[in-house]
Amino acid sequence: MRIHIYTLVLLTVLTGAELRAQELFAFNIKDRTSLEPIKFCYVIVKGKNISSVSDENGLIKIKADVKDTLVIYQVGYLLKKTTPELVGPGNNVWLHRKDVNLEEVSITAKTIEIFNEKEYTVFLDFEFYDDHVLSLISRGSKYDALLLSDKNGNKITEIRLKIKAEGLFKDCLNNIHLLTKDSIYQIYYDYQTIHLLPAYDLVAYNNMLKRCECSHNDKYIFKTSRYQELKNIYTYYDAPNGSSKQLALVADSQNIKDFNMDFDIRYFLDLRRRGAGYFYTVADIYKYMDQFREQLVLDDSYKRLLKPVDSEVKIIDSSFALFDYTHKTVSYYSFDGQLQSQASLEQFPQIAPKILIDRDAPNYVFTKQNNRNGLLTLYRFDKLTNQITHSFILNDFHYLGNFQIKENYLYFINSDMSRNDINTKIVKVWLDWKKMAQVTKAD
């Protein structure tokens, strides 16, 4: 897991003896099957705040003791642990791809598993940390804690929290943060202990860093919602060159037109006549009317009528993919910010405005929740043909909130409403697409 590169830096003080013991090791990380280098692979020194990332040629340079344990991780590959003295001939370290066959898999494990089923552990939130599950849990009236488990729910380590946490979230660099009322704390696991980095002001984070929606090798996509959330502006930032440009604008023109008609010149002139502000000339009110509209504090009933524009950016293969759910399109941009292609999503009218990406499989999934019974339907999306190929209804679980996919398993927090909160658990369900109905669209 990459350490937070912009502000939250945990400093480790080394003694002179430790510094003398460390050496700079360099080696190449390669795919065992294709023999190709693996770029942007994470390497950390177990039990120490030392980490590095391989370059575009798979070369890694890291300071460590010769007998330190190096933990090497990249999405889609099996995690590897080694030591500098065990690096193979030619200074190569080989990683094996995960074998997740979506069509022909013989399942020997249970198709449904429940984490900590018989223990008093209430799961509040979770995120994937490399190949682990990091959960925010409650021990009842005793305390809250961070629990790190393997993918089957077996405990690896746990730390008690002395702060009141509200949830977890993952930023555009795949760093996981603990959210409190006024601060965030980056979580760092050195494969021995869970650490909380120093607190960072929540307002400052929301005003700047939260807007980063996607990143790839120091290329960033920032999202800014404007005009009462009826416009989403996407900015492409090239950090090495220090340059930026507008990548795209997603706007709901019909909603904007209706909103402008409700708050036209007569609305602002009426407020001026009643002494409620806007003491400008008519020409100036016309000139700054869009700015005035954007600053309006709308009541909740009206805001519910204004459906925000829905869009998001994800990395799909070697592209930034902009999913515009309002206009039912997907646009693919190169990592240099150039538009490559566009496709329609009109054949998927009812999907929720979020795509789930299982990068280990790989697998791309849209969802739809039934408003009457709360059952979730999952749709497998083929990005090459731009079609839905299979559908899967998740029976027996209703009105799910936080759900994610990894290695073709669906993970989610489920509360058994018929019993007490001791049954608020993470549930893991195998998605057997081979047995699912093949479809051509999301009805």
Q: Is residue 38 part of a domain?
A: yes
305, 339, 365 — which closes off a domain? Answer: 305
pLDDT of residue 9: 35
Tokens 């006024």 correspond to 182
Angstrom distances, CA of residue 290 to CA of 55, 234, 259, 293, 304: 46, 20, 11, 5, 20
Q: Is residue 284 part of a domain?
A: yes
pLDDT tens per residue across span 193-237: 999 999 999 999 988 888 999 999 889 999 999 999 999 999 999
User: Is there a contact between 1 and 189 (Cβ–Cβ < 8 Å)?
Assistant: yes
pLDDT of residue 384: 85
Whether the per-residue pLDDT at 143 is higher than 90: the answer is: no
Angstrom distances, CA of residue 219 to CA of 215, 239, 319: 5, 6, 12
Whether the per-residue pLDDT at 100 is higher than 90: the answer is: no
pLDDT of residue 89: 66
Burial 229-259 (b: 16+ CB within 10 A, else e): ebbbbbbbbeeeeeeeeebbebbbeebbeeb
31-53 mean pLDDT: 91
Tokens 């223990």 correspond to 119
Burial 342-353 (b: 16+ CB within 10 A, else e): eeebeebeebbe
pLDDT of residue 329: 94
Q: Indicate the pLDDT class of residue 439, thresholds 50, 70 and 90.
A: low
16-27 mean pLDDT: 64
pLDDT tens per residue across span 69-81: 999 999 889 999 9
Q: Is residue 404 part of a domain?
A: no
pLDDT tens per residue across span 372-419: 888 889 999 988 888 888 888 888 888 888 899 999 899 999 887 655
User: Is there a contact between 219 and 238 (Cβ–Cβ < 8 Å)?
Assistant: yes
User: Is there a contact between 116 and 413 (Cβ–Cβ < 8 Å)?
Assistant: no
Total structural domains in the chain? 2
The tokens for 65 are 């003791």
Whether the per-residue pLDDT at 321 is higher than 50: the answer is: yes
pLDDT tens per residue across span 165-175: 999 999 999 99
Those residues whose C-beta lies under 8 Å from the C-beta of residue 260, and which sit 6 or more positions away, are 293
**Which residue blocks in 10-83 are alpha helix, DSSP H?**
16-21
pLDDT of residue 426: 93
pLDDT of residue 105: 42
- Which residues partner with 117 through β-bridges? none
pLDDT of residue 59: 94
pTM equals 0.85
Average of per-residue pLDDT values in the chain: 86
Residue 53 maps to which CATH number?
A: 2.60.40.1120
Q: What percent of the chain has pLDDT over 70?
A: 88
Q: Cβ of 297: how many Cβ atoms within 10 Å?
A: 5
Closest CA to 312 of 329, 303, 294, 324: 324
pLDDT of residue 14: 33
- Which residues partner with 413 through β-bridges? 426
Q: Is residue 74 part of a domain?
A: yes
Angstrom distances, CA of residue 137 to CA of 134, 148, 413, 430: 10, 10, 11, 23
Q: Is residue 22 part of a domain?
A: yes
Q: Is residue 269 part of a domain?
A: yes
Q: Hey, is 325 helix, strand or coil?
A: coil
Q: Is residue 299 part of a domain?
A: yes
Whether the per-residue pLDDT at 286 is higher than 90: the answer is: yes
pLDDT of residue 432: 79
262, 283, 305 — which closes off a domain? Answer: 305
Tokens 């909160």 correspond to 421
Q: Is residue 397 part of a domain?
A: no
Q: Which residues span the domain enclosing 56?
A: 16-95
User: Is there a contact between 257 and 293 (Cβ–Cβ < 8 Å)?
Assistant: no
Half-sphere exposure of 130 (CA within 13 A, CB side): 23
Ramachandran bin of 218, using left for φ above 0, alpha for ψ from -120 to 50, beta for the remaining angles: left
Q: Residue 216: what residue type?
A: H
74, 95, 116 — which closes off a domain? Answer: 95
Closest CA to 339 of 251, 241, 247, 212: 247
Q: Indicate the pLDDT class of residue 133, thresholds 50, 70 and 90.
A: very high
Angstrom distances, CA of residue 82 to CA of 90, 171, 189, 333, 363: 15, 29, 17, 37, 30
